[in-house]
Amino acid sequence: MVRVEDVPSPSLTPGTARVAVHSAAVNFPDLLVLAGKYQAKVPPPYTPGCEFSGRVVEVAPDVTRVRVGDVVFGLATHGAFAEEVVLDASRLTALPAGAAVDMRQLAAFGVTYTTAYHALRTFAEVQPGDYVTVLGASGGLGLAAVDIATALGAKPIAVGGDPAKLAVATARGARAAVDYTAEDVKARLNELTDGGASVVIDPVGGPYAEPALRAMRWGGRYVVLGFAAGDIPRIPLNLVLLKGIRVMGFENRTILDHIPEAASAHRAEVLKLFLDGAVQPHVGAVYPLNQVGSALRDLAERRAVGKVVVSISELQVQPNEAP
């Protein structure tokens, strides 16, 4: 159960900063943490929410990464669905002075756009002209991958199960869409990509992974980002052998620990794309904080198109609502 209530302000500790939260975005890991199924366990009671935008209002004496007054976006394990959050300052990114942004889009940018950019740029090494199959293309991560692939000169193909949602992906730059509820995914992808995609971006898993892999050209790059469909697919490794495919995966939560230089450089690149207006998160729904349960349900029940955002600083908390 999720409810909205007043709790004491969290205290600063060394290395942390306090942020007045403007908006917070809902992500699939929020549901996993709530269900106790995420890699990082958070004992209840706790405040959910991992992604947010806001303004720094206080810093610990040893913090130099951000300053009071900075507009930031950040990533936490939990705590973002609140009026303020305290977290390690290393988890915050400050915008350049004078940068003009939509704070709701900024809240929706950090997780999905850095994840999609690492998938396409850091791991898949996408090139202009590459066909890129994007599974779950109407979700927040899928739409980010479509947006970024387009900005990098690639040719994304959107795959999903709802024609109305897929229309959003084509409006955002997908060259074509494949409805897995009505079409033979492998055959249609082979047709649309002139014999196979060079890259597959897969945040979905389940029964859609294998046909997408079968519809790849030799030497393709398959990037695993999650299993939103609920099932972890079992891929016949002979397909990987015969097609010379590289299968890769990573966690955005830990990538800075493993490849800090490349990850930091590429995050700076995608932030520049965002600030220059070359990419733009699609915010499909906005809820006030007292309706956070509805925001979580939208994602859990697959009604969301793009990102769902909880708007915090522009409202007064009203009676509680349980999801």
Which residues, 6 or more positions from 149, have their beta carbon under 8 angstroms from its beta carbon? 120, 126, 132, 134, 155, 156, 173, 201
234 residue type, one letter = R
Mean pLDDT of all residues in 144-172: 95
Distance CA 114, CA 123 (A): 12
pTM of the model: 0.89
Contact in structure between 216 and 197 (CB atoms under 8 Å): yes
Distance CA 106, CA 88 (A): 19
317 residue type, one letter = V
Question: Does the N-terminal peptide bond of residue 45 adopt cis geometry, omega within 30 degrees of 0?
Answer: yes
**Alpha helices (runs of H) in 60-122, residue ranges in sequence order:** 103-117
Domains and CATH numbers, the chain: 16-100+282-311 (3.90.180.10), 111-255 (3.40.50.720)
Range with the lowest mean pLDDT among 11-20, 22-31, 34-43, 73-82?
34-43
Mean pLDDT of all residues in 168-184: 95
Q: CA nearest 82: which of 130, 167, 22?
A: 22
| Interhelix angle 163-171/140-151, nearest 10 degrees | 30
Is the confidence at residue 40, as pLDDT, over 80?
no
What mean pLDDT, rounded, does the chain reach?
A: 91
Distance CA 176, CA 192 (A): 8
State pLDDT tens for residues 132-157. 999 999 889 999 999 999 999 999 99
Q: CA nearest 31: which of 2, 61, 57?
A: 2
- Cα dihedral 157, 177, 27, 285 sign: positive
State pLDDT tens for residues 182-234. 999 999 999 999 999 999 999 999 999 999 999 999 999 999 998 888 889 99
Helix (H, G, I), strand (E, B) or coil at 251: coil
pLDDT band at 2 (very low <50, low <70, confident <90, very high): confident
Whole-number pLDDT of residue 302: 81
Identify how many contiguous H helices and E strands the chain contains and give both numbers: 10, 13
Distance CA 323, CA 26 (A): 14
Mean pLDDT of all residues in 127-133: 98
Distance of alpha carbon 186 from its chain centroid, rounded? 26
Percent of the chain with pLDDT over 70: 95
Mean pLDDT of all residues in 146-175: 95
State pLDDT tens for residues 292-301. 989 999 888 8
Is the confidence at residue 125, as pLDDT, over 70?
yes
pLDDT band at 33 (very low <50, low <70, confident <90, very high): confident
Whole-number pLDDT of residue 39: 67
State pLDDT tens for residues 225-275. 988 888 899 999 999 999 999 999 998 878 888 999 998 999 999 999 999
